[in-house]
Amino acid sequence: MRQALVRWSSLRGNRSIAPVLSIMLLAMLAVAFLASSLQANLMRSTQESAAKVEAYRVAYVLISHEYLLLQATLAEPGAEESQELTSHQPDVLRALDRAAAVDPDHAATLARYRRIEVKVQAVELSVISHLGQNHPGEALEIVERIEPLMQEVSNGLSAEMLAHTDAQAQEAQTAAGRSLLLSAGIGAMLAVGIALISVTAWINRVDRRLLDRMASEDALTGLPNRTAFNARCEVALEAASRDGDRPPTVLLLDLDKFNDVNDSLGYRFGDRVLKEFAERLRFCVRDEDHVARLGGDEFAVLVVAGDPQSGEDIALRITDALAQPFLMDDIILDIEASIGIATGVAGQDVSELVGNADMAMHLAKDHRLGFTRFDPERRDVGAARLALLGSLRSAFDKAEITLHYQPKVSLVTGEVIGAEALARWNHPTRGIVGPGDFIPALERTSMVYGFTVRVIAEALTQARLWMIDGIPIPVSVNVPVRCLLDAQFPETIARCLAEAHVPGYLLCVEITENVVMADPELAIDVLHRIQALGVRTSVDDFGTGYSSLAYLKILPVDELKIDQSFIRDMTFSDRDKALVRSMVDLGHHLGLSVVAEGVETLATMKSLRGLGCDVAQGYYFARPQDAVSFQAWKAIRAEEPWDADVAGGPG
């Protein structure tokens, strides 16, 4: 536009053509303005159509995947397949809600699809129940009845997706046609005056920039998208290799628990948080660095030719920027991020560099580090962990997983009042693998739910055998956070009790303090429902977590287990003994039984007995052992008087 005005000004001296050029220029400006307005409207309409297409596509894919999961569950019934199907169901409903939000004209139809989907998901739960009861025929009949409903929703979503795709293509064609008309009109007027060439060039340049920006820019935040970011990374890596510059550093960021914002406040608030975070992120980097939104709540920073330490410096600035809460319509939100940092090396490609940053980011998220740098040694550790998890999938079926039992002994009567079930893995090549080597890796995956259920089922089977032999011994099983935060977990325990034919009091569920803090309201509700089955509940490793006493006083538990780190040194550490005394008194004032873990000496046992501790567990009495050895140990101990322990010898 500036060039056109300059050329128009240079022609004003020629009075014979100046009026004509002025009129033509004004006409051109009018046409250009009108065309630009129409083009902008079309582009907005195209973007809306694209959003609708994407919403329907996501819903269609999720519905199709749900059907495949249902078929997989029928083909291979199991806890893992059923868990994956049930965890997939909310995603389908959210996708239908999202489609209704972006396409209000068809909200009624989508609402009907949602009602159908709710009905289908209820039937799927019935199918899972029948499969769990070993009624595959009935489950198959139920699936055949709901297949037409699923097909109706799938076909409807597919039709809407195709319709909106056609509409998007038509709008793009209309935009292209109008651009051609505009170019033709400008070409005709260029014969009147060379000044109008600049106007045409300007309009075309704006259009090209707009289209280029749409292809490489995130629509919500205005930041470069993943494609543009990867291209800039590739350029930076090539420049560092060619010119000998310092290699680039990549920071990968993921907002912690951002889905809670969308689920609780809606996508409108979530989008506003993302836009404000993008603005804060821009101020945390240098002018020569690049910021991008890779998708969802994942962002990235490319530090070009900077000292590797710049990655940590920027991460600190980002952390400081997030320390200021987000204010959204009088709602204050505290947002945190996990950041992974990786610096390129010679011969490295973009995918490897970004993958290293992603690995570091997940490490920071798992361990709540805020930010951490990629460690090459962890790549091998991660590969070994994946291989271990792959072997673990079939370990139960191959009878490689066995349970050992460690007794819990009453400090009042000396009787064995229970046993903690501890998993041992007899790996075919590595030998015995202790729980500390595979349980932490397992807890980061969805496999831990099925693994825990298998442990509970096997422990209850053993409790049933002991009950038949006339020596009922309650068994304790540690339960991870994924189980406790599953609203269906009490029903799973009820099913395990029913299949083992044992009463609820023969099972004790052990949890840690940190498990409760993950979602106190849901955890407390699940524990109440577990207690309603007659199952005892226990807080394991008490004193090592970060729980609030405000939650502890309302927590539905029957037992506190004092962590062995306090028990081990209490006979020669007044501080540890004072802490143990306080925890015993606290448990008793709350009406709870108190168990001491890690009792290894007679002196420790006597000291605990003097403090009024109820139950002890540790090597002083017995190491964890298989069921046969446990039963033999218990028979021998039953023949020895409790006074033998008190006087100076283990049972």
Confidence of residue 465 (pLDDT cuts 50, 70, 90): very high
Least-confidence region, from 164-173, 444-453, 523-532:
164-173
Q: Are residues 520 and 537 in the same domain?
A: yes
In a domain, 224, yes or no: yes
**Residue 261 is inside which H or E element, if any?**
helix 258-265
Residues 587/553, Cβ–Cβ less than 8 Å: no
Of 215, 250, 265, the one marking the end of a domain is: 215
Q: Does residue 285 register a pLDDT over 50?
A: yes
In a domain, 388, yes or no: no
Confidence of residue 510 (pLDDT cuts 50, 70, 90): very high
Residues 6 or more apart in contact with residue 651 via CB below 8 angstroms: 409, 414, 621, 636, 637, 640, 642, 644, 645
Kindly report the CATH number assigned to the domain that includes residue 223. 3.30.70.270
The pLDDT score that the predictor gives to residue 13 is 42
Residues 6 or more apart in contact with residue 94 via CB below 8 angstroms: none
Highest-pLDDT range among 202-211, 283-292, 367-376, 516-525 = 283-292
User: Could you tell me which residue, 399 or 472, shows the higher pLDDT?
Assistant: 472
Mean pLDDT of 479-502: 91
Q: Are residues 120 and 26 in the same domain?
A: yes
Position 451, amino acid: F
Mean pLDDT of 395-424: 87
In a domain, 288, yes or no: yes
Q: Are residues 225 and 170 in the same domain?
A: no
User: Could you tell me which residue, 241 or 379, shows the higher pLDDT?
Assistant: 241
The pLDDT score that the predictor gives to residue 558 is 93
Q: Are residues 208 and 225 in the same domain?
A: no
The pLDDT score that the predictor gives to residue 2 is 38
Least-confidence region, from 110-114, 283-287, 571-575:
110-114
Mean pLDDT of 602-613: 93
User: Tokens 């068809």 sit at which residue?
Assistant: 106
Burial (Cβ within 10 Å: 0-12, 13-18, ≥19) of residue 369:
middle
With a pLDDT cut of 90, the percent of the chain lying above it is: 24
In a domain, 277, yes or no: yes
User: Mind giving me the DSSP string for 396-442?
Assistant: TTTT-EEEEEEEEEETTT--EEEEEEEEEEEETTTEEE-HHHHHHHH
The pLDDT score that the predictor gives to residue 32 is 63
The pLDDT score that the predictor gives to residue 92 is 78
The pLDDT score that the predictor gives to residue 131 is 72
Of 194, 215, 236, the one marking the end of a domain is: 215
Sign (positive/negative) of CA torsion 567, 570, 572, 576?
positive
With a pLDDT cut of 70, the percent of the chain lying above it is: 77
Q: Which of 540, 543, 601 is nearest to 568 (CA)?
A: 601
Mean pLDDT of 610-639: 91
The pLDDT score that the predictor gives to residue 175 is 64
The pLDDT score that the predictor gives to residue 309 is 82
Q: Are residues 123 and 255 in the same domain?
A: no
Residues 6 or more apart in contact with residue 73 via CB below 8 angstroms: 81, 82, 85, 127, 128, 131
* Number of structural domains the chain divides into: 3
Q: Are residues 401 and 522 in the same domain?
A: yes
pTM beyond cutoff 0.75: no
Of 191, 215, 239, the one marking the end of a domain is: 215
The pLDDT score that the predictor gives to residue 9 is 41
Q: Which residues, listed in sequence order, are joined to residue 373 by a DSSP beta bridge?
A: 341
Q: Does residue 374 register a pLDDT over 70?
A: yes
The pLDDT score that the predictor gives to residue 351 is 86
Task: Tally Cβ neighbours within 10 Å of residue 258.
Answer: 20
In a domain, 237, yes or no: yes
Q: Are residues 291 and 341 in the same domain?
A: yes
Mean pLDDT of 421-437: 77
Q: Are residues 268 and 119 in the same domain?
A: no
Confidence of residue 432 (pLDDT cuts 50, 70, 90): confident
User: Could you tell me which residue, 83 or 15, shows the higher pLDDT?
Assistant: 83
In a domain, 46, yes or no: yes
The pLDDT score that the predictor gives to residue 650 is 45
Residues 229/37, Cβ–Cβ less than 8 Å: no
Q: Are residues 520 and 442 in the same domain?
A: yes
Q: Are residues 122 and 227 in the same domain?
A: no
In a domain, 479, yes or no: yes
User: Mind giving me the DSSP string for 343-394?
Assistant: E--TT--HHHHHHHHHHHHHHHHHTT-SEEE--HHHHHHHHHHHHHHHHHTT
Task: Tally Cβ neighbours within 10 Å of residue 179.
Answer: 17
Least-confidence region, from 35-49, 291-305, 325-339, 477-491:
35-49
* Length of the chain counted residue by residue: 651
Q: Are residues 257 and 346 in the same domain?
A: yes
In a domain, 379, yes or no: no
Confidence of residue 132 (pLDDT cuts 50, 70, 90): confident
Q: Does residue 380 register a pLDDT over 60?
A: no
Provide the residue range defining the domain that includes 342.
217-374
Q: Does residue 232 register a pLDDT over 80?
A: yes
Kindly report the CATH number assigned to the domain that includes residue 493. 3.20.20.450
Q: Are residues 406 and 368 in the same domain?
A: no
Least-confidence region, from 3-12, 71-80, 308-317, 464-473:
3-12
